[in-house]
Amino acid sequence: MEKILDRFLRYVAVDTQSCEESESQPSSAKQLTLLAMLRDELCALGVEATLDENGYVMGRIPANTGKPVPKLGFIAHVDTSPDASGADIKPQIIEDYDGGDIALKGVPGLYLRPSEFPEMLAHKGKTLITTDGTTLLGADDKAGVAEIMNAVQYIMAHPEFKHGEIRIGFTPDEEIGRGVVKFDVKKFDADYAYTIDGGDLGELEFENFNAAAATIRIQGRNVHPGYAKGKMKNAMRIAIELNGLLPVEQKPEYTEGYEGFFHLIGFNGTVEEATISYIIRDHDMDLYEHKKAVMQECVDFINRKYGEGTAVATIRHQYYNMRKEVEPHYHVVEKAVKAMEMEGIKPKIQPIRGGTDGANLSFMGLPCPNIFAGGLNFHGKMEFVPLESMEAASKVILNIISLYAG
């Protein structure tokens, strides 16, 4: 029986960073390395498993209850965020965390500090897995992958554990909003599913942002600076001006709870041309549509000021709030609540300030709330995950299965 820590460390050692600029499926071929590993590991455990041409691993475990039980799916994504490197990850393992600052030894002078991340103190005395400061960790969502695989290992090693039909899914490209664009829900053949892709211990989510991505291309005019008066249009300055037109209070660093935002995620340019990229988020559909309209109004203003065609916006929808698709099947949330309480965990039902594969899956006919994977500070070098939270998430999976089987 492989320990969940060893399994997790094995998975984060594989670089699986997705690429938003790529048009392939998966967006980066290196994701297939881990996906093939997972298929092979499932097969080695005795699970019927496949990996298709689109990068989806699907596994099936037959029921052993002898009575009708809903078919349950458990899903996690293998890719890591483009926001930070996922290559050559060097995890640090801090046993019996004492509540102090943690040196991220790959970058001299860099620390993970409770004064900046007070949630660390809730895990005092636990084993923390951190980065070394040079990369992200990959707990989003390789912690979820490891937790599902750990549960599968237990099920296959304990035939006395009663369960209905179980489906396992591993997906690519979740971090760039394309995780289940070609996912065959009918082939997966589950009645209900859970993504194991949430944050801190106890988090349980069945509503998320409505989401769009915006790319704005600015066409400038480069003239020798000594003779530029009345002629030059500096694309970078125009891009900065456009960004300044957006509501200051609607940036991620000033919002929380149900508040949406415009998030500048990319800026590339020269005097001649520039490109700025955003993600747009809001839980409320009307406010979501309004935000997209505000973005277009800012582009229109720039074109009126500097000439038509100076700014061109491409606004692409990514996913919708899954609440209205999950709420009619609220028992999936209630079962998750009970499964956590069985482990002495206080459930924290809250909106996702992001998205999961479960959002799109819910709209594809597979109600799919999201359960904690245990990690914190995703997408950057301050990411960490408590080992005990990973172990708890795996037990919650087994509890959900037992509750439905019972």
Catalytic residue annotation: 79, 174
Q: Confirm if 72 and 193 have CB atoms less than 8 A apart.
A: yes
Nearest-CA neighbor of 367 among 320, 332, 338? 332
Give 129's DSSP letter. Answer: E
Residue 167, CB half-sphere, CA atoms under 13 Å: how many? Answer: 24
Q: Which two tokens stand for residue 19?
A: 């690429």
Q: Write the Ramachandran bin of 218: left for phi over 0, alpha for psi from -120 to 50, otherwise beta.
A: beta
Q: Which residues pair with 233 in a beta bridge?
A: 221
Q: At what angle do helices 387-405 and 331-341 cross, to 10 degrees?
A: 120
CA 148 – CA 22 distance, rounded (Å)? 28
CA 98 – CA 102 distance, rounded (Å)? 10
Residue 250, CB half-sphere, CA atoms under 13 Å: how many? Answer: 22
Q: Which residues pair with 58 in a beta bridge?
A: 50, 169
Give 80's DSSP letter. Answer: B
Look at the alpha carbons of 112, 5, 90, 34 in this order and tell me if their dihedral is positive or negative: negative
Where helices occur in 106-161 by DSSP H, the ranges are: 139-157
